[in-house]
A and B are shown apart, each in its own frame.
Chain A
C-alpha cells in the first residue's frame, strides 16, 4: 500500500476514527492491527518475518532484564545482534549477491532461494529500532517492556516502519501507552504536514526525478551542463523525497497524538559536513553516534591510545562508521564509496584549525561555508545515485565541460512537463513550441527548489507550517487550496517510489 494513494488516505481515515473511538486502554491494539494490515499489504511472508523478529527481540530483552550475570547478559545481547544483523546481512546483502549463482552447494542454494521472500520492507529501519531497544535494556538505560503487544506496536508502527524515522523505545513506547485524546489543533497540524509532504513528493521530488533519472541512467549521452543540472536537481530530489516521507509519517503520527523524531533540520543550511550530519537523517545519525561511533571510539582509544595518535584513531573510526552507513543504504560499491567520502570529509574537518571548526562569523563567511558544504555534499550524492563507480567518475569528470550550445545542452534534458502543458493549454497557448515548454519546465523546477529552500528558511526562523497555522483563516485556507491545486495540476504522477523505501 503506497502512502500516496487513495487507499492509504481511506486507511488512515478509518484508523483515526477507530483509534479515537476506542477506549484509551485499547488504542494501542487499534494501532497494532492497523500496522499489521499495512505491513501485510507488502506480502504475507514479510509479515511473518517481522513477527518472528519481534518475538525474538522481545524474548531476548526480557531475558537480559531477568538476569544479572554479565556473561549471560552479553550472550543474549550477542544473540540479538546476530539475529538482527544476520537478517540484515542475509536479506539485504547475501541473498541478492548469490541470486545469480548457479550452484548445487546446499546452503548457497538455500540462501539463493530466499530471494523469493524478497527483502522485507523497512528491514534496515526496524532492525535498528529493535537493536537500539535491546542495547538500551542491556545498558540498563531502560527496563524491558513487559507487554509483547506494546513492543510489537512500537516496532511495527505503520507511519514510520518503511522509511523511518528510527525511533527509540524510550521515546515512542510511553506515547503508545498514553493514548492521547483527540485534539483538533494537533490533528490540523498533522494533516497540514501531510499535505505539505505530499506536495514535496509529487510536485518537487518526482518532477526533479524525471530529469535526474534520464541523465544518471545514461550519463554518457549528456554534456557537461546537463550533467551539472541533473546533479543540482539530484541534491534537492533526494532531500524533497526523503523529507516528504518524513513529513507524511510525522503528520499522521501527530494526527494520532504521537510525536516521532524530527529527521531533518534544514540540511542545506549546514556550514560544515559535521553540521550537515546534525541536520540530515537525524534519527540515523543519532543511532549511529550512540550505538556505533561512541562505543567504537572509546574502545579503540582504550586499546590503542599508547600506540596511535587519537586523531589518527578518529580518522579510522569515521571512515569505518561512515563506510558502514553507506553499506546500510545498500549492497553496492557506490553506497560504500559515498559513505567513505563523507568519512573523509569528516576526517579532514577534524584536522582543520580550531577557528574553522567553530560556527561561522558574519554573512560572507556563512555564505561561503554554506556553499562549500553544499558543493561537497552534492559531489557525494553523485556516488549515492550513480549506477556504478564508472558512471560516477564520468559525471564528475565531465560536469564542468561544455559540449555544443549551452542552452540546447540544458533544454535537451528537460522533458515536456504534463503540468506545464496543462497550464499552457489553459492559457490558450497550445501552439507554444516545445522549447518554450521545456524552458518553462526548467524555470518551474528551479522555482520549486527555491520554494523548498524558502520553506526551510522559514522553518529555521520558527517553523514554516507553524507560521501557516498562525495566519488568518483566509490565508491558511488559501495555502491549503494552493498546495492542493499544485498537487493536482503540477504533480508528476509517474509512479516514482519513495527513494528511502528501498532501504
Chain B
C-alpha cells in the first residue's frame, strides 16, 4: 500500500499544482471570501480598502450587506450611474455616508433594497439615481439579481469552485493576472489593501465608502473619444439602455410614486436625480430626435417630486459648471468630479437638509484646485 499511495501522490502532484494556481491563488486574493466578511472588514477597518472580484459578480448582495452594516445617515442608491458619489462630499462632523450604487437596477429594486433595511439601518436622506432607461418602454432590463434574491444566492460549492478555477487558470496562462502581484494584495493605484483579483490587478473595485474606483482608466488613461465610442454604438443600434422612445412609461412613474410614498412613511427623505450623459452624447441624442421621452420624463418627475414636497434634479444634459466630456468615464457614467458638481447644486438647493452634512466652501475650493486627472477629486486618504 505505501508504494501505491506514493504513486497516487505522484499523480496528484500536477493536479495539486493546478489547484494551487487555479484555486489557491484566487482564494488568497479574496475571490472566495464570504461577502459578509468583506463587507464587515471594510466597514470596521479604519484604513481604506478596495473590493473587486474577477469571477463572481455579486455586488447587489455586497451593497445590501454593507448598507445594513454601515447604518449611514445619507445613502446614495441606484445603478452604476450612482457610483461616483464620494464620502468626502459629506464633510461635516456626524455625517456618515455610504454609496449603495449598483444595489438597485430597476425601480422595483429600489423598493426591495429599502425594504431589506431595518429601522436602524435605514438612512435619513436617500439620494436616488433614476436612470432614464428605467422609464423607457422600449428597454428590456438585463437580468441582474434583485435585492430580494441577492442574499439567498447559493454559497460557493465544489462545482462553482471548479468553474472559477478554470477561468482563473486560463487568465493566468494568458497573463491577465500574475502570482507576484496577487501576493501583494494591494490596490496598484493607491497601494491600499485590496480584496479580489480585479482590485489587485487593475485597481477596479469598490472603495470603503462604496464608490467605484475605475483603476484601469487611472493607470492606463484612454482618449475621451474612445471612452464614448461604445455609447455612440449603442445609440446607433438603439440598444442596451439606449433604445429609442418618444414617450416615457407612465407605469414606471407610478411605481416610482409608490416607492416615494413608502420612503416617506418610513421617515426617509428622498432626493431624486436623473443621471447625466456626457454633454456631446446628450447633444447627439437630442439632435437625433429618437429620445423624445427624456425631456418629457424630466418634467414629469419634477412634477411628481414637487407634489410630494421632495427635491428632484434633472442632470440629463450633463451641463454643469466646468464639466466636459473629458470628465466622464464613458457616455453615461460621470466621474466623481461630475458628481461633486451635481452634489454642490443639490446642496445649494437644499441647504437646510443637506447643510447638516456638508459645507460647500471646502468642496468648491477642492474643485478649483489643479488636479492630477479629469476623473478623480478625492484621494483615498481623504476618505473617512
Residues of chain A whose beta carbon lies under 8 Å from any beta carbon of chain B: 2, 4-7, 20, 182, 184, 187-188, 191, 418-419, 422, 425-426, 428, 477, 480-481, 484, 488-489, 491, 493-495
User: How far does the alpha carbon of A466 sit from the alpha carbon of B294 in the complex, in Å?
Assistant: 71
Instruction: Give a binary string over B153-188; 1 marks a CB under 8 Å from any A CB, 0 the rest.
Output: 000011110110111011001100000000000000
Query: How far, in whole Å, are A426 and B166 apart by their CA atoms in the complex?
Result: 11
Q: Name the residue of chain A whose CB is nearest to the CB of B163.
A: A493
Q: How far is the CB of B25 from chain A (nearest CB, A)?
A: 15
Chain B neighbourhood of A5, CB < 8 A? 157-158
- B162: chain A residues at CB < 8 Å are 488, 491, 493
Measured in the bound complex, the distance between the Cα atoms of B159 and A6 in whole Å is 10
**Residues of B close to A489: CB separation below 8 A:** 166, 169
Task: Indicate if the CB atoms of B159 and A495 lie closer than 8 Å.
Answer: yes
Cα distance A5–B161 when bound, in Å?
A: 11
What CA separation (Å) do A477 and B174 show in the bound complex? 27
**Cβ–Cβ contact A484 & B166, under 8 A:** no
B166: chain A residues at CB < 8 Å are 418-419, 422, 488-489, 491, 493
Q: Is B370 an interface residue (CB 8 A)?
A: no
Can you name 16 A-B pairs with beta carbons within 8 Å?
A2-B158, A4-B158, A5-B157, A20-B1, A184-B3, A191-B8, A418-B163, A418-B166, A418-B167, A426-B170, A488-B166, A489-B166, A489-B169, A493-B159, A493-B160, A493-B166
Question: Which of A7, A184, A191, A477 has the most chain B CB atoms inside 10 A of its CB?
Answer: A184
10 smallest beta-carbon distances between A and B, as pairs:
A493-B159, A184-B4, A493-B163, A422-B170, A493-B162, A5-B158, A182-B1, A425-B170, A6-B158, A495-B159
Task: Name the distance in Å between A9's Cβ and chain B's nearest Cβ.
Answer: 10
Q: Is the CB of A187 within 8 A of B170?
A: no
Q: Does B14 contact A (CB under 8 A)?
A: yes
Are A494 and B11 also in contact (CB < 8 A) when A425-B174, A426-B173 are?
no
Query: Is B307 an interface residue, CB under 8 A from the partner?
Result: no
B residues touching A (Cβ–Cβ < 8 Å)?
1, 3-4, 7-8, 11, 14-15, 18, 22, 157-160, 162-163, 165-167, 169-170, 173-174
Contacts of B15 in A (CB 8 A): 484
How many residue pairs at the A-B interface have CB separations less than 8 Å?
52
A426 B174 Cβ-Cβ under 8 A: yes
Complex interface: chain A residues within 8 A of B22 (CB): 488
* Closest Cβ–Cβ distance, residue B342 to chain A (whole Å): 37
With A418-B166, A493-B159 in contact, is A477–B11 under 8 Å at CB? yes
Cβ-closest chain B residue relative to A181: B1
Q: Are the C-beta atoms of A187 and B4 separated by less than 8 Å?
A: yes
The complex places the Cα of A191 from the Cα of B8 at a distance, in Å, of 10
- Docked Cα-Cα span, A452 to B169, in Å, equals 27
Contact residues in B for A418 (Cβ distance below 8 Å): 163, 166-167
A494 in complex: contacting residue of B3, B159, B173, CB < 8 Å: B159
Closest CB in chain B relative to A19 CB, distance in Å:
11
Q: Which residues of B contact A184 (CB under 8 A)?
A: 1, 3-4
A8–B167 alpha-carbon span in the complex (Å): 24
- Cβ distance A407 to chain B, nearest Cβ, rounded Å: 24
The minimal Cβ–Cβ distance linking B111 to chain A, given in whole angstroms, is 31
Residues of A within 8 A of B169 (CB): 488-489
* Min C-beta distance of B383 to chain A, whole Å: 36
Q: Which of B1, B3, B7, B165 contacts A488 (CB 8 A)?
A: B165
CB neighbours of B3 from chain A (8 A): 184
Hey, which chain B residues are within 8 Å of A191, CB to CB? Answer: 8
CA distance A191 to B5 in the complex (A): 12
What is the minimal beta-carbon distance from B159 to any residue of chain A, in angstroms?
Answer: 4
Which B residues touch A425, using CB under 8 A?
170, 174
Complexed CA–CA distance, A4 and B158 (Å) = 9
Contact of A480 among B11, B157, B165 (CB under 8 A): B11
Q: How far is the CA of A4 from the CA of B162 in the complex (A)?
A: 12
Whether the pair B165, A422 counts as a contact (CB closer than 8 A) is no
A306 CA to B174 CA in the complex, in Å? 79
Q: Which residues of A contact B1 (CB under 8 A)?
A: 20, 182, 184
Considering the chains assembled together, what is the distance between the CA atoms of A188 and B162 in angstroms? 25
What residue in chain A is nearest B19 (Cβ atoms)?
A488
Q: Which chain A residues lie closer than 8 Å to B160 at the CB level? A: 493
Closest to B176 in A: A425
Q: B158 to chain A: which residues have CB within 8 Å? A: 2, 4-7
Q: Distance in Å from the Cβ of B81 to the closest Cβ of chain A?
A: 28
Q: A428-B174, A488-B22 are in contact. List 17 more A-B contacts (CB 8 A).
A: A7-B158, A418-B163, A419-B166, A425-B170, A426-B174, A481-B14, A488-B18, A488-B162, A488-B169, A489-B169, A491-B162, A493-B159, A493-B160, A493-B163, A494-B159, A495-B157, A495-B159
**In the complex, chain B residues whose CB is within 8 Å of the CB of A481:** 14
Instruction: Give chain A nearest CB distance to B180 CB in angstroms.
Output: 21
- List residues of chain A with CB within 8 A of the CB of B8: 191
